[in-house]
Amino acid sequence: MAYDIEPRLLRAFLAVADELHFTRAAARLYVAQQALSRDIRRLERELGAGLFVRSTRQVALTVDGERLLPYARRVLSAQDELVAAFRGAVERPLLVDVRAPLGTAYRVLDEARERVPESCELVARFHSGLAGAAGELAAGRLDVSFGRFAGLPSGVRAGLVHQPVRLEPMAVLLSEDHPLAARSAVPLAALAGETLYAGAGNAQTAEWTDLAARLFQGRGMAMAATFPEIEGPEEFVRVVRKRGWSVLASVEFIEVPGMVLRPLVDPVPLSPVSMVWRRGLRHPGLEALRAAVRELGERDGWLSVPREGWWLPDGDAAVMGVGAVRR
C-alpha cells in the first residue's frame, strides 16, 4: 500500500506526542482542538493504526505511535531542510535561550553578536533549563538553547542537533558561615552528610537534577526536597536564603548576598554544556554562534578536562566526545 501523508498530519501527531495533551498541542500549533483531533483521526485512518490511547485523565502513545515517532521526526526534519535550502537564510531574529545574563551561554551569545551584521538580530531568552527549552525548540518558539544534551530523552534528541561547548567545572554555593566556606575549594568527600538543592521538582531543569543525582550517588550527599520552579534570579536568591540551602552550581553563577561560591574538587565534577538547535534550522546567526563556540572553546580550553581526577557520567562523556572518564 502506498502512503501519501500530508506533513500537516505528521506535525499534528508530533505535537500531541510531545505534549501528551490535546489542548496544549492545539495551542502549540495555533489550531482548534477539534481540528487537531480530526487530523489525528485522519492520520490513524491512513496508516490503519491507532496512535494514541485517550482517557479522561491522560493521553499515551500506543506501540504503533511509538514506532511512528522517529520516522515522523525524520520526515519533517527533511522537509524543513529542503525548504530552508531553497529559501536561503531567513533574515528574522534568532531566539537564543541563554538562561541568565552571565555564564557560558551568554558569553557565546555576546561573542556571536560581534560577528554578525547590524541587520542580523540575536535575541536572548531566559529559560531555566534545557529540558524545558527542548519543547520550545521543537515547536519553533525558540531557535537555540544550551545545556546537557545527554539528559534529554532520545526521542527528543532525534529532532535536535547539538555542538559541544564546554565541560564546565561544578561548584557549591554555601552560606558565609558554613564550616566549608573558609576553604578555597571543597573536596566532594567533605560534602558527605550535606543536603544540596539541585532543582528537584522543577521539570524545566530535569537534566540538571538527574546529573546531580548521579553525582550524589554513593557519596553520602542528599538532594533537597522537591520545590516548585523558582523564576528569576531575585526570587532564587530570596528562596535560597530563606530555606538556608547549600546549592549545587557551576563555577559561573549569580552572586547571592551572604553566600560564597566554591569550586568542587577531588574529583572535579564536570557539567557538560552543548549548544542545541532544531534540526534543519538555517540562519546566519546560527553560523555566528557556532563560530563563537569554536573560538571561545579553543581560546579558553572549554572542552579540556582537568589534569587531576574528574567526574562525568559515561553517557555524557560519549556525547561530548570525551575519552575514558577518570574518577
Q: What is the pTM of this model?
A: 0.71
Query: Which DSSP category does 266 fall into?
Result: S
Spell out the domain ranges in the chain. 7-87, 94-167+271-320, 168-269
139: Cα separation from own chain's centroid: 14
Q: What is the pLDDT along the chain (327 residues), one digit of tens a residue?
A: 546 788 889 999 998 998 899 888 888 787 888 889 999 999 999 999 999 998 878 899 999 999 999 999 888 888 877 766 655 544 689 999 998 888 999 999 999 999 888 888 999 998 778 999 998 998 888 999 999 999 999 888 888 999 999 999 999 999 999 999 999 999 999 999 999 999 998 888 999 999 999 999 999 999 998 888 777 778 888 888 888 888 999 999 888 888 899 999 999 999 999 999 998 888 889 999 999 999 999 999 999 999 879 999 999 999 999 864 444
Give CA–CA dist 23/35, Å, rounded: 11
Report the amino acid identity of residue 45.
R
**CA–CA gap between residue 169 and residue 293 (Å, rounded):** 17
* Distance in Å from the first CA to the final CA of the chain: 54
Cell 529540558 belongs to which residue?
131
Intrachain domains 7-87 and 94-167+271-320 with the same fold: no
Sign of CA dihedral 26, 29, 34, 38: negative
What cell numbers appear for 286 in the block?
A: 546560527
One-letter amino acid at 181 equals A
Distance CA 112, CA 108 (A): 6
Name the E strands within the chain. 52-54, 59-61, 94-97, 122-125, 144-147, 160-175, 186-187, 195-197, 222-223, 246-250, 259-265, 268-278, 310-311
Residues 51, 22: contact at Cβ < 8 Å? no
C-alpha cell belonging to residue 198: 539541585
* Residue 183 · residue 123 · CB < 8 Å: no
Q: Which residues pair with 94 in a beta bridge?
A: 122
Backbone dihedral angles phi then psi of residue 30, each to the nearest 5 degrees: 60, 45
Q: Which residues pair with 223 in a beta bridge?
A: 196
CATH of 7-87, one of 3.10.20.30, 1.20.1070.10, 1.10.10.10, 1.10.3720.10: 1.10.10.10
> What is 168-269's CATH superfamily?
Periplasmic binding protein-like II (3.40.190.10)
Contact (Cβ atoms closer than 8 angstroms) between residue 306 and residue 268: yes
Pick 94-167+271-320's CATH classification: 3.40.1360.10, 3.40.190.10, 1.10.10.60, 3.40.718.10. 3.40.190.10
